[in-house]
Amino acid sequence: MISNFLKSELLNLKSSFSIIIILFLFTVSPADAAFPAKVRVTKVHDGNTVSIRISRLSLKTERVRLIGMDAPELGQEPWGRRAKRHLKKLISDSDWIVRIELDINERDKYGRLLAYLWTDDKKLINERMIEDGYAVLYTIPPNVKHVERLIAAQKKAQTRKTGIWGKGGLRETPEEWRREHPRN
């Protein structure tokens, strides 16, 4: 008799636990659920490329290309240097710890991880670079998860004449500059 009672209680407990898990999954916002573990940025290479260390236990780093945006190249003075400095500031403001979000294609032709970078207070760094006038919108389908946000950010920067959109701003897009100055 006791064993049947225990079995019944165990089933009820299992059922209750399953319901709690299901409720949790449906009450967590998609943005929270999409965030992977935090990663440490170890280096800012330019206005749209950083290196990260995925695990505290590993010294291996991974190059990450911020997607949805294109910052001036370092050779596009002074904007390439300014974009790098601004990205460095945004990342240092988050104590060099960010969360990465991948899209459909995870790597580019150079083997870099393609990602959106988020701060702990849920600010999209890719979006901030565009909105603050240090990068232009640059989407390559199918990686267009946040394209509406990025379009709005560029419109805001253009309207406010911020950064590259202001007086003495960028003369040519980074893409145009790369065409005229191909890598060796």
The Cα 103–Cα 92 span in angstroms is: 24
Mean pLDDT of 118-131: 96
pLDDT, position 54: 81
For residue 2, pLDDT beyond 60: no
pTM over 0.85: no
- DSSP one-letter code for 165: G
For residue 9, pLDDT beyond 80: no
149 is catalytic: no
From 73, 101, 127, 131, active-site residue: 73
Q: Are 113 and 64 in contact (CB under 8 A)?
A: yes
The residue count of the chain comes to 184
Residue in 75, 45, 79, 109 with CA at minimum distance from that of residue 180: 75
Mean pLDDT of 92-119: 95
Highest CATH level, class, for 35-180:
mainly beta
Q: Confidence class of residue 139 from pLDDT cuts 50, 70 and 90? A: very high
65 is catalytic: yes
Mean pLDDT of 55-71: 90
The more confidently predicted of residues 3 and 160 is 160
112 is catalytic: yes
From 65, 82, 99, 128, active-site residue: 65
From 82, 99, 112, 128, active-site residue: 112
Label each residue of 124-182 as H, E or C.
EHHHHHHHCCCCEEECECCECCCHHHHHHHHHHHHHHCCHHHCCCCCCCCHHHHHHHCC
The Cα 10–Cα 131 span in angstroms is: 55
Mean pLDDT of 80-99: 96
